[in-house]
Structure 1
Amino acid sequence: MDLQLSVFLLFILFTAGHSFSCYECLGLTGSCAGQTVKTCPSGYSQCLSSTAETQIGNITSKVKAKACAVACQSWSLNFGIVRTTSSCCNTDQCNAQDAPDPSNIPNGRKCYYCDGQTCLNTVSCSGTEDRCVKATVTVESLSAVVKGCATTSICDATFIPSVGGISCCEGNLCNGAQSVTQSFLFLCCSLLSYFMMH
């Protein structure tokens, strides 16, 4: 019995000193060249790596981010003007590689997306985006409907702060085409930053 107790206490000592860590960065110029290692807070057991591309007219920007996460899944999301991918893993510093760039290879599915004026726009889904999505984003007192393409893992999310009424469907253009409020771009960027940092 004393041997079992000694082995148990020794195990506790060795595991208690180990802290989970991930790479962390926010590359607003499309690069995570200056990433650092961060010890994750208690309860954070996964590492996240995310890549987002925004295109408004002829202007394209790319943001890369890495961080600790409580829980996450790998996914792809396309809101027409904003496309993002995320990769998750659960071992120390496993997010050394950047998340892949959003796919440009159409997969045959089409969904509606909103541009701040209307939700009659259509976007070609790409890569693993196998669902059309519709949600309501609320930031402070502003609300807007967002629509686009998503992977199934987004649809299975049980709780995303500031996002309500997430609904997904499988048919082409199945996510409806109603008009939106004017604060769309602000809310879309807020949603994107949440996905990238959580």
Structure 2
Amino acid sequence: MDLQISVFLLFVLFTAGHSLRCYECMSQTGSCAGQTERTCPSGSTHCESSTGITKVGDITSKVQAKGCVPVCQNGSINFGLVRTATSCCNRDLCNRQDAPEPSNVPNGKKCYTCDGQSCSAILSCSGDEDRCVTATDTSGSLTAMVKGCISKSFCDATTAVRNVVSVSCCSGNLCNGSQSVSQSFLFLCCSLLSYFLLH
């Protein structure tokens, strides 16, 4: 009996002592200077750090997010107005550094993007964005669509984005086709950006 209790207590102490710890923050000012340490819940196997940049006209905003996540991919996604880059790691407090800003260096790849009126604008992909993406959300009679550039590592992850019914990635230049969009796509951009910043 004493042996069973001792083994149980050692198991509890062993598993409690090996919970992953990550830095956590959500900053609308572009810096996670006030980040805190957090013991991750069961099932979280990675620490994540993401940087998102939104540019509308002359106004640019930067969002930093860090935290514990169950699944994580390194890479970037670019919808023209909204870009995000994510860094992942799986050691205690390994996400201390902010994720780098998404690259601005064109890599030669081109994809269609949406501007709110149509999806026929051409976007130059940057950094490791080696795929084109199309995502659609249909809510009742409204349809929102976004198109852009994405890292291969993100293609499989986007299938789990809440409120998004269709996501497809392709690898050829301009392979995500041009077509009109019936509603503003800003809501869908924000859904996808928040998925990558918060999951």
TM-score of the superposed pair, with normalisation by structure 2: 0.89
What pairs up with 1:98-137 in 2 under 5 angstroms?
Answer: 98-137=98-137
Task: Tell me whether 1:17 sits opposite 2:26 in the alignment.
Answer: no
- Tell me the equivalent position of 2:93: 93
The corresponding residue for 2:82 is 82
How far off its partner does 1:186 sit? 2.0
For residues 92 and 166 of structure 1, what CA distance do their matches in structure 2 show?
33
Matched, 1:67 2:54: no
Cα deviation for residue 15 of structure 1 reads: 1.6
Where do 1:1-198 residues align within 5 Å?
A: 9=8, 11-18=10-17, 19-137=19-137, 143-157=143-157, 158-198=159-199
Question: d(CA) in 1 for partners of 2:122 and 2:133?
Answer: 12
Unaligned runs of 5+ in 1: none
Looking at structure 2, the residues matched to 11 and 92 of structure 1 have their Cα atoms a distance apart, in angstroms, of: 21
1:133 aligned partner, one-letter code: V
Instruction: Go from structure 1 to structure 2 and tell me whether the alpha carbon gap of 1:130 and 1:33 turns closer, same or farther (over 3 Å shift).
Output: same
Comparing 93-102 with 178-187, greater Cα deviation is found at 178-187
Aligned residues: 196
Check whether the contact 1:137–1:191 (CA below 8 A) recurs between aligned residues: no
CA-based RMSD: 2.2
| Local SS of the residue matching 1:51 | strand
Task: Summarize the Cα distance change of 1:140–1:96 in structure 2 as closer, same or farther, 3 Å threshold.
Answer: farther
Letter in 2 for 1:162: N
TM-score, length basis structure 1: 0.89
Q: 1:5-51 deviations in whole A, cap 9, x for unaligned? A: 79955751432322322111111011001101122222112111000
Code of the aligned partner of 1:152: K
Question: Higher mean Cα deviation, 99-108 or 5-14?
Answer: 5-14
Counterpart contact for 2:143–2:181, Cα < 8 Å: no
| Conservation of the 8 A alpha-carbon contact between 1:104 and 1:126 | yes
> C-alpha separation between the residues in 2 aligned to 1:126 and 1:91?
29
AA aligned to 2:186 is L
Segment of structure 1 superposing worse, 88-97 or 152-161: 152-161
Cα distance in 2, alignment partners of residues 77 and 11 from structure 1:
44
- In the alignment, residue 185 of structure 1 is paired with which amino acid? L
Unaligned segments of structure 2, at least 5 residues: none
What SS does the corresponding residue of 1:167 show, helix, strand or coil? Answer: strand
CA apart distance, 1:165? 2.1
CA contact (8 A) 1:135 1:147 kept: yes
Does the 8 Å contact 1:138/1:187 carry over to 2?
A: no
Greater shift, 101-110 or 141-150, is seen at: 141-150
| Offset at residue 182 of structure 1 (A) | 2.4
Cα distance in structure 1, aligned partners of 2:46 and 2:143 = 30
Q: What SS class does the counterpart of residue 14 from structure 2 fall into?
A: helix
Conserved in 1, the CA contact under 8 Å of 2:76 and 2:84? yes
Which amino acid in the other structure matches residue 16 of structure 1? T
